[in-house]
Amino acid sequence: MRLFVKICLKGEKHYRHRNEMTHHVDTGYMKHECIVAGKPTLNPATLSAVPLFIFNIPRFQPNKDPTHIFSHHTYTSRILDVPAYATGNEIYLNTKYIASYTGDVKREITGVLYHEATHIWQWNGNGNGQPNIGNLTEGIADYVRLKGDLAPSHWQQPGEGYKWDQGYDVTARFLDYCNSLREGFVAELNGKMRNDYNDNFFVELLGKSVDQLWTDYKTMYGK
């Protein structure tokens, strides 16, 4: 299986039903950085590093085999209101977001790729289990970004947030705390989410309820 990063360029109406690529660049032969909205955004080293980092997480159990990442530019009439999203074996990057980003865009997009690639390889309970599973999977994806030292400055700091399954950065920080109690916890939690999800997984792995762990976490940071 090949994993594609598609950089979405706003297209005209006649592109609506086309799936033609203006460029097809694979990481084995790409020699130059990919320039998006006039900004250096991706390079071969970045694309190669993403799967290597994720698959080298101790005890990580992916839902599919490792793969190389390939980059495309594609026309689309879809209006993206998020920086990126993952579906199947494809990651879509929003050029409008890249163009408007005022910080280190290469670092930001690398972090976004870590997050979205995690969605492609993580388990999600097949949609079964408690309703907070969606926020948990987002938290795991941001946890991988955090461990890649790619957390942006606007993220919540450790101990912040109003509930553990708030999702994204808040849940990522909490999972990082849980992982400090048991090395490999997040990877093991991901593995247990193969078919469903239950909050009791925290008890099984850490010996405490997730609510108690959240209380301990908040107390540790005086929050």
- Closest CA relative to residue 34, chosen from 62, 67, 74: 74
| CB-based contact 58:182 (threshold 8 Å) | no
Amino acid at 223: K
pLDDT digits (tens, 9 = 90+) for 88-134: 778 888 888 888 888 888 899 899 999 999 998 999 998 888 889 99
DSSP string, 149-182: T---TTSPPTT-SSSGGG-HHHHHHHHHHHHHHS
pLDDT digits (tens, 9 = 90+) for 144-198: 999 999 999 999 999 999 999 999 999 999 999 999 999 999 999 999 999 999 9
DSSP secondary structure letter of residue 198: -
Query: What CA–CA distances, in Å, run from 143 to 62, 77, 138, 177?
Result: 15, 32, 9, 10
